[in-house]
Homo-oligomer: A and B are copies of this chain.
């Protein structure tokens, strides 16, 4: 919390905030720590990897590690919920119903990803599935996607964002989706077939009219 922020971060719109020279190094450090952390986790396991090791691998001090990531699990869980996907959902063709719009957005998100991004996602997902502590962390933030989904549906349907039925519907959708993805054994399948899984939601969900 700087006292006189002469040049703070731009309001975080869709466009890239014109990288400000010094901040590039920070982004690089952050990415480096994250990357080294994930590699180490994959090689030695999550619990077996200490923050000290990660810091050493990324060539920073442990102090610095904690300046970039508040907790060890943040290296895995950060950015997990992709706000972009919900933005795509909002912008999906109007004739799609909410569930179809979700499918559209998810499929499109996967299509946008490069192979290495997909690999990263899969690694991450495998970690989350296998390490209880990480699974815990994901669940803890379950409200975020519910919130985002509520909002996305509200915008699409021109309904108020605080419509209780919408929130209820979104909560049910996320809950159902959660059970669907967790039922899968292989992490790869759960991820790539996400679009298909969403299609099953309308078997049990029903959106009450405004």
Contacts and interface: CB of A to CB of B under 8 A. Distances in A.
A113 interface: no
Given A165-B204, A204-B207, A206-B205, A176 B182 contact: no
A136 interface: yes
A183 interface: yes
Interface in A58-74: none
Interface of A is mostly: helix
Interface stretch (A26-34, A81-89, A115-123, A137-145): A137-145
Contacts of A140: 132, 135-136, 139-140
Number of copies: 2
A175 B183 contact: no
A178 B142 contact: yes
Contacts of A142: 139, 142, 178
A178 B147 CA distance: 13
30 contacts: A132-B140, A135-B140, A136-B137, A136-B139, A139-B142, A140-B140, A142-B142, A142-B178, A143-B182, A167-B179, A167-B183, A168-B176, A168-B180, A168-B200, A168-B201, A169-B176, A169-B204, A171-B175, A171-B176, A171-B177, A171-B178, A171-B180, A172-B201, A172-B204, A173-B175, A175-B175, A204-B205, A204-B208, A205-B206, A206-B206
Shortest beta-carbon contacts, A-B, top 6: A175-B175, A171-B179, A139-B139, A136-B140, A172-B172, A172-B176
A170 interface: yes
Nearest to A165: B203
Nearest to A176: B172
A174 interface: yes
